[in-house]
Chains A and B, each alone.
Chain A
Amino acid sequence: MQSGTFHSSYSSDMGLRPYWPMRLRIILVIVIMLVFPWFAGRYWLNLANTIGIAAISAIGLNILVGYTGQISIGQGGFMAVGAYTSGLLAANAGLPMWVSVPIACVVTAVVGALFGMPSVRLKGLYLAIATLAAQEIIIWVLTHGKILGIGESLSLPPETSNLFGLSLAGSTDFNFYWLIMGCLVLTVIFVSNLFRSRAGRAMVAIRDQDIAAQVIGVDLFRYKLLAFATSSFFAGLAGALTAHYRGIISWERFTIETSILVLAMIIIGGLGSVSGAIYGATFMTLLPALLSNVSRAASGVFPSFSSYLPYIQQGAFGLAIVLFLIFEPEGIVKMWRNVKDYFRLWPFSY
């Protein structure tokens, strides 16, 4: 049974993970992450990588939506900016990804701040429409991007996928697993730190009470822009990783459907929570995979169904999300907290 935790200094009291059960859990997760790729086949590695990239994007979007309270349906567009910036730098200038990806992140952050500028004065539905406009403008530029030298799709030279000379081509899924998970871990640490310090607190203050935030000295314009920029930075990272991992990119990967999917991830996983974004990304990536496996098995039993399968699959996906929102509107992170509370008092819980 866990009693109160006492700290001998503010610095340890202010630590990210002050309780030892949390430390234990983190060690367990890291061990699993380290062991997993040695046993997993390509199918599972690909799923893990997809989840990792989605989680980075979802954490980024959560900065803006969950923590700062600014709705956005433009995350797919910002991922496209990251993907194409890195992709064009690799394809046209032959830059290796360890140079082009960071550049792409910064460029996306700037683009995010630019599109955030008019949005700073808008709230709620109006802001949603403004970010939707950003999404559509970005996709329009990409589909009319002959000036940028973009065709229907863009292929990246495999030799640019290297880290400081170390090539990731070859067993791509395995190699990218380490890169993507490394980026995810850094993202988790950075964002967790951000929200226990001044700038992150100011963003949460804007979400909770924007008038009081101003009166204690928070410059709304500045911090909303910073939230847009930081959020877009991680969208750019997710997009650029997608580009190099897939080796070929097209705008179709980054439409409004992607934006809504990432938004659904943080709503289902838990708004304003780093782990919630990861749960949501995992759930929303695994669920369709699971559904397609189940339906493939079912089509063996009922062959006449097979032509309806895609519809049944989509319907089940939608139904699962709706049921989820009805029964746990605060997301997976809340369910997990309930389980933890139950076991904290175990075996005396009833």
Chain B
Amino acid sequence: MAGDNGVPMPAAQMQIDSVGLSFGGVRALSGISFNVYPGTIQAIIGPNGAGKTSLLNCISGLYKPQQGQIRFEGRNLIGLAPHEIARLGVARSFQNIELFRHMTVVENLMLGRHVHMRGGVISGGLYWGAGKREEIVHREFVEQVIDLLEIQDIRKKTVGSLSYGLQKRVELGRALAMDPRLLLLDEPMAGMNSEEKEDMARFILDISEEQRTTIVLIEHDMGVVMDISDNVAVLEFGQLIAYGTPDEVKAHPDVIAAYLGHQHAAH
């Protein structure tokens, strides 16, 4: 964990502070607090129904927690609309792929550039001068993401026609096209074969190392989680039962009892 070896702990980029969320009688999250540090890979693990996706939904503004605060770079996110949170530099992928199915890969990634562009209806319809130049500049950025993720040969394909593994990769690409400061990934490797998983893990590490993007990663594959993350938060029944480096978490008695014991249920 950052700060172990006497180096002062950097300021947290995101502070999740006593977040509580219920749906009617169902308590999805209660009193969740932990920090996410800049440039790290922060894993969130826990059995199905533990509240991991709900927590990401609170961060991206899709759910509104009844208690607590989520401060991102000093700003409380709770109460902001999802598109406002996106503008602050938070991007994400979804557990069940949520791409724009009828559009091509390039168009999906260009949508990732939405917050960085200005063009409106009139400049788009005229497609002339500054409006056209803007499209081309951002297309160049998108091409860099396409190269990074090695999806050159499918760039003009309609997303709905791609395999599951490729769709997951395109969804990561759309989030990367946003050039985010915080990237939330909800089970990016679920349902993949081992080769696809390896590729995905490599991309996540590349993004983390080369672009210093902070990553919050929900993942079931314990091998991958322990390999690539800096810190791990463990949720169970909506509560944070452990937090620390992968080694600390692995040794935590509650985790061994609660999570590793239920590993079959988690899959």
Is A314 located at the chain interface by the 8 A CB criterion? no
Contact, CB under 8 Å: B81 / A190: no
The residue of chain B having its C-beta at the shortest distance from the C-beta of A227 within the complex is B121
B143's contact among A10, A196, A212, A213, by CB below 8 Å, is which? Answer: A10
Contact, CB under 8 Å: B136 / A11: yes
Q: Which of B27-35, B37-45, B105-113, B232-240 contacts A (4 or more CB under 8 A)?
A: B105-113
Given A191-B125, A217-B86, A202 contacting B114 (CB threshold 8 A) = yes
Could you give, for residues 204-235 of chain A, a 1 whenever the CB lies within 8 Å of some chain B CB and a 0 otherwise?
A: 11001101111111111000001001100000
Is B131 located at the chain interface by the 8 A CB criterion? yes
The residue of chain B having its C-beta at the shortest distance from the C-beta of A202 within the complex is B114
Q: Which of B3-11, B95-103, B189-197, B257-265 contacts A (4 or more CB under 8 A)?
A: B95-103
A-B contact pairs, 20 of them (CB 8 A): A193-B127, A194-B125, A196-B124, A198-B117, A198-B124, A201-B114, A204-B100, A204-B102, A208-B100, A208-B101, A209-B101, A212-B100, A215-B60, A215-B62, A215-B83, A216-B111, A216-B174, A219-B81, A219-B83, A220-B83
Contacts of A211 in B (CB 8 A): 62, 82, 98
Is A14 located at the chain interface by the 8 A CB criterion? yes
State A217–B60 Cα separation when bound (angstroms): 10
Counting contact residues on chain A (CB < 8 A from B), the size range is 20 to 34
Contact, CB under 8 Å: B111 / A201: yes
A212's contact among B94, B113, B131, B140, by CB below 8 Å, is which? Answer: B94
Is B126 located at the chain interface by the 8 A CB criterion? yes
Contact, CB under 8 Å: B92 / A215: yes
Given A217-B86, A217-B114, A196 contacting B127 (CB threshold 8 A) = yes
Contacts of B117 in A (CB 8 A): 198
Task: Output the residue of A209, A219, A226, A229 with the most chain B CB within 10 A.
Answer: A209
Contacts of B60 in A (CB 8 A): 215
Contacts of B256 in A (CB 8 A): none
Is A294 located at the chain interface by the 8 A CB criterion? no
Could you give, for residues 120-139 of chain B, a 1 whenever the CB lies within 8 Å of some chain A CB and a 0 otherwise?
A: 11011111000110111001
The residue of chain A having its C-beta at the shortest distance from the C-beta of B124 within the complex is A197
Task: Output the residue of B82, B99, B126 with the most chain A CB within 10 A.
Answer: B82
The residue of chain A having its C-beta at the shortest distance from the C-beta of B82 within the complex is A214
Contact, CB under 8 Å: B121 / A209: no
Q: Which residues of B contact A (CB under 8 A)?
A: 60-62, 81-83, 86-87, 91-92, 94, 98-103, 107, 110-115, 117-121, 123-127, 131-132, 134-136, 139-140, 143, 174-175, 178
Contact, CB under 8 Å: A214 / B107: no
Is A200 located at the chain interface by the 8 A CB criterion? yes
Contact, CB under 8 Å: B127 / A201: no
A-side binding surface: helix, strand, loop or mixed?
A: helix
Contacts of A217 in B (CB 8 A): 83, 86-87, 114-115, 178
Q: What 9 pairs between A and B have smallest CB-CB spacing?
A: A197-B124, A217-B86, A217-B115, A193-B127, A214-B82, A208-B100, A190-B125, A212-B98, A198-B119
State A191–B124 Cα separation when bound (angstroms): 9
Contacts of A219 in B (CB 8 A): 81, 83
Cβ distance B63 to chain A, nearest Cβ, rounded Å: 11
Contacts of A198 in B (CB 8 A): 110, 113-114, 117-120, 124, 134-135
Is A260 located at the chain interface by the 8 A CB criterion? no
B125's contact among A193, A205, A215, by CB below 8 Å, is which? Answer: A193
Contacts of A325 in B (CB 8 A): none
Given A211-B62, A212-B100, A217-B114, A199 contacting B86 (CB threshold 8 A) = no
Task: Output the residue of B101, B118, B120, B143 with the most chain A CB within 10 A.
Answer: B120
Contacts of B103 in A (CB 8 A): 201, 204-205, 208
A209's contact among B82, B100, B114, B139, by CB below 8 Å, is which? Answer: B100
Contact, CB under 8 Å: B131 / A197: yes
Contact, CB under 8 Å: B112 / A216: yes
Contacts of B114 in A (CB 8 A): 198, 201-202, 216-218
State A272–B101 Cα separation when bound (angstroms): 14
Cβ distance B246 to chain A, nearest Cβ, rounded Å: 28
State A342–B185 Cα separation when bound (angstroms): 43
The residue of chain A having its C-beta at the shortest distance from the C-beta of B86 within the complex is A217
Contacts of B120 in A (CB 8 A): 198-199, 226
State A272–B102 Cα separation when bound (angstroms): 10
Beyond the given pairs A212-B99, A216-B111, A216-B114, 19 more chain A to chain B contacts, judged by CB atoms under 8 angstroms and listed by A's residue number, are A10-B136, A11-B136, A14-B136, A193-B124, A194-B124, A197-B123, A198-B118, A198-B119, A204-B100, A209-B98, A212-B94, A214-B82, A216-B112, A216-B174, A216-B178, A217-B83, A217-B86, A217-B115, A230-B121
